[in-house]
Structure 1
Amino acid sequence: MYLHDIKLETGNIDSAPAISRTYAWTVFALTLGLLLSDYMSRQVLNAVFPLLKAAWNLSDTQLGSLSSVVALMVGILTFPLSVLADRWGRTNSIVLMAGLWSLATLGCAISTNYGEMLAARAFVGLGEAAYGSVGVALVLSIFPSHLRSTLTGAFMAGGAFGSVLGMALGGSIAAHLGWRWSFGLIAAFGILLVIVYRIVVTEKRLARLRAKVSVEAPCRPGVRLSFRLLMQGLFASRSVVCAYVGSGLHLFVPAALFAWMPSYLNRYYSMAPGSAAVAASGFVLLTGVGMVACGMLTDRISKTVPIRKWLTAIVYCLVSFAVLGIAFRLHAGPLQLVLIGVGMFVSAGASGPSGAMVANLTPSSIHASAFATLTLANNLLGLAPAAVLTGFIADRIGLLGTLQIVPIVPLIGAAAFFAGKRTYAKDLGRINEARDKAMPK
């Protein structure tokens, strides 16, 4: 069953007993906790880049590949594993996925060379691939529909906070105990959560809770489309393709900086690896806050004129290009750090507008597939290649020179958004007309 097939329109959790409310929020907290573990396992690597480079004499290309392989696995496997999880059972799938990425993170801790670490990181990506879509689907299935936006926003924000924790804690632990302990302790946190989750969250208890929440509108299987019709819906217009492409490209910069800011601060500000990781986590936090703020600003600006979503996405990309392009051409110092902070604040700002564009330009019956496609574009165009390409170029011209080039990518993203804006009104009108014709009279 896809996410959009979950029907909770008439239920109200306030009418359920207090024990049901408590259990629902307990499930939410545990599922969010696993999301934190997910991103801690993903981002702890970046905190120990300088230590791994020194320990194994790695090139920047090799360091970048250790980060990019996770996003590559997520991008390739999100869609098929999400489908399998819906068929096998979300609770069982979550336990399996979280157990796998936690054990793989433990594998990173005991790796003795680059090849072993690369294999362990690939398994981290395998475990994490479908967790975002499956986790949020499970959470939304046990709450009434009027809480969906709040719960989805809170759940997805967990990714940013998990990244911050992974960098900050990973760097601090490495500074005191060594880089292996950074992976080991974060893996232990994930394994502990998996055990608690397996004990507390069961399909039987969730089914009873869903029945209380949605008595009049029980969950039922959605309509299964043929592959041809699904592809037609996902790529029905030029503007939706531009939204996919623009979204993926604009995420290249934050992904590159997430991976390389600890190393940049270590190399050009002479910070110790632990201090550099903690400082870099502050920039990651700025990016997460910026995603929320830019999304709220976009909603306010485009409330009466929907096409303004495209304008805000273009502006966020251009500001990121200009501010970061200037910042990395300045000498190291407070002004440079301030401008980097400003640039990172808006660097992922087009994520909200992109999601809204995709939702508007695809039929509601395939929204889950549409967002899986958006996730695929985000990973394959932005998140996966960012770290390894940055490292590859850095091996040839240095990290500073590379970071002076990287901000050009959101400029290309802005061009994709501009191209989509030109046909948006016509495409949206055609889709709405088709939707009206399909409505029963």
Structure 2
Amino acid sequence: MLMQHAEPATGNVAVTQADVRPYAWVVFALTVGLLLSDYMSRQVLNAVFPLLKSAWGLSDTRLGSLSSVVALMVGVLTFPLSVLADRWGRVKSIVLMAAMWSVATLGCAIATNYGEMLLARAFVGIGEAAYGSVGIAVVLSIFPARLRSTLAGSFMAGGALGSVLGMALGGAIATRLGWRPAFGAMAAVGLVLVILYRLVVTEKRLAPLQPAHAGKHAEGLGVRMTLRALMRGLFSTKSVVCAYVGSGIHLLVPAAIWAWMPSFLNRYYGMAPGKAAMGGAVFVLVTGLGMVVCGNLADRLSKNARERKWGSAIAFCLLCFVLLAVGLRMPAGPLQLIVIGAGMFFSAGASGPSGAMVANLTPPSIHASAFATLTLANNLLGLAPAAVLTGIIADRIDLLGALQLVPFAPLIAAIAFVIGKRNYAGDLDRLNALREQAMR
């Protein structure tokens, strides 16, 4: 007889009070709203690449560095800042981070040269560093464990939607008013959301939504935990390491395509910068839709078979590889864009399953730190190098040739997920056994 997948109960929400679940959705909406602002501030740059290239005479390498420096700062700082957030308070940390990236985006609007812009973009990254890990930790703490892939996929899809808005609105504003007002508008959105979040979300109001065993005891455990114990919790199994690595490498695709699609459409399809930004935003929107659908599909497929989360992630990576490898070698035209779009639908499809794997394989008290580690892998292995490496290669051959190399990333990610799948069942059984012993 097959045993039903018994996942940790972290995040199970008591629904005996009628006001609990509605407030949980309010928190989810506001947290995703700030994520939208995060990615609007990050991706508005891609919409104005052609304008900056013309105004300051920048090479593709320098353009790519303005995008990659944000992900680099996120990658370097996400772990230490997330550990501090676990101790200092997640809600206070979220408010501070969002205020910082909004002010830094305003700094981008007044930059007068490449050096100043690079510095401002670095501070955007510092502000955003721990938001993804802390935000998703807050969300997962107030919802049932059975929704983890759906929530993780939907949360990350918020980043895709924010990228759509940043590129589309940024391109439209830049076309009419210039690139500086485009950055200013993104900063204004962030500051308004910061004020709203500060007024509505508090640790005190979140407490009743969290399960009893994730309360003061878990909080105290997180504060008292030594670095050595924390490392053991974060890297306790081979399968969780594979989840980190596979997730990070597979995200190189959306990072590279999102950054360079407006320039690709501008150079190879002759689109004006504003229209190219709108076209690029469509591909981002397709990616976000894919995150939600793929995350929900992974939850459904793995309901009674725990290894299917890994199988889903592998399938999404392979589909992305095949579709993009074919699409980027087709002649320019509507059919090429359709096939590329199909590949982008699956390009971040493993994000939801990866988030669920990490949540299942790490202790509840260090989930913010665990998602910080996932964010670290996502940025250092995928998001940070994607734009600048593509730019460096494009300066040596051309942009199309550089983009044709990108689809090999999900093929490597699929190998990592295959290794993780082989170890997942034993790792999860062993961790669940240890948790049961600790509760006795």
Q: 1:416 to 1:187 in 2, by over 3 A?
A: same
- For residues 215 and 432 of structure 1, what CA distance do their matches in structure 2 show? 18
Q: Equivalent residues in 2 for 1:77-88 (5 A)?
A: 77-88=77-88
* Equivalent residue, structure 2, for 1:254: 254
* Equivalent residue, structure 2, for 1:386: 386
* Equivalent residue, structure 1, for 2:4: none
Q: Equivalent residues in 2 for 1:23-42 (5 A)?
A: 29-42=29-42
Q: Give the aligned residue type for 1:361.
A: L
Q: Percent identity?
A: 68
Structure 1: any 5+ residue segments left out of the alignment? Answer: none
- For residues 397 and 146 of structure 2, what CA distance do their matches in structure 1 show? 50
Deviates more, 1:283-292 or 1:231-240: 231-240
* Equivalent residue, structure 2, for 1:172: 172
Tell me the TM-score normalised to structure 2 length: 0.88
Q: Equivalent residues in 2 for 1:258-277 (5 A)?
A: 258-277=258-277
* Residues 184-235 of structure 1 deviation map (CA, whole Å, 9 limit, x = unaligned): 111122223334444x2475xx52x346657978931241332222222222
Q: Of the candidates 1, 14, 22, which is equivalent to residue 18 of structure 2? A: 14
Q: 1:238 to 1:289 in 2, by over 3 A?
A: same
Q: Does 1:219 align with 2:223?
A: no
- For residues 328 and 342 of structure 1, what CA distance do their matches in structure 2 show? 12
- For residues 151 and 235 of structure 2, what CA distance do their matches in structure 1 show? 28
Q: 1:215 to 1:238 in 2, by over 3 A?
A: closer
Shift of 1:351: 1.2
Whether the aligned pair in 1 keeps the contact of 2:46 and 2:262 (CA below 8 Å) is yes
Whether the aligned pair in 2 keeps the contact of 1:330 and 1:336 (CA below 8 Å) is yes
Deviates more, 1:269-278 or 1:422-431: 422-431
* Equivalent residue, structure 2, for 1:65: 65
- For residues 429 and 49 of structure 1, what CA distance do their matches in structure 2 show? 49
Q: Give the aligned residue type for 2:18.
A: D
Whether the aligned pair in 2 keeps the contact of 1:167 and 1:281 (CA below 8 Å) is yes
Q: Give the aligned residue type for 1:157.
A: A
Q: Give the aligned residue type for 1:228.
A: R
Whether the aligned pair in 2 keeps the contact of 1:8 and 1:217 (CA below 8 Å) is no
Q: Does 1:298 align with 2:298?
A: yes
Deviates more, 1:79-88 or 1:132-141: 132-141
* Residues 249-289 of structure 1 deviation map (CA, whole Å, 9 limit, x = unaligned): 11111110010101101100000010011111111011111
Q: Give the aligned residue type for 2:215.
A: C
Q: Give the aligned residue type for 1:79.
A: F
* Residues 380-433 of structure 1 deviation map (CA, whole Å, 9 limit, x = unaligned): 100111011111111101000011111111111112122222333333343334
Q: 1:348 to 1:151 in 2, by over 3 A?
A: closer
Whether the aligned pair in 2 keeps the contact of 1:105 and 1:184 (CA below 8 Å) is yes
Q: Equivalent residues in 2 for 1:350-361 (5 A)?
A: 350-361=350-361
Whether the aligned pair in 2 keeps the contact of 1:81 and 1:130 (CA below 8 Å) is yes
* Equivalent residue, structure 2, for 1:324: 324
- For residues 229 and 82 of structure 2, what CA distance do their matches in structure 1 show? 19
Q: Give the aligned residue type for 2:353.
A: P
Shift of 1:138: 4.9
Whether the aligned pair in 2 keeps the contact of 1:307 and 1:421 (CA below 8 Å) is yes
Shift of 1:28: 5.0
- For residues 310 and 320 of structure 1, what CA distance do their matches in structure 2 show? 16
Q: Give the aligned residue type for 2:183.
A: F
- For residues 368 and 337 of structure 2, what CA distance do their matches in structure 1 show? 39
Q: Give the aligned residue type for 1:423.
A: N
Shift of 1:154: 5.0
Over the aligned positions, Cα root-mean-square deviation in angstroms equals 2.8
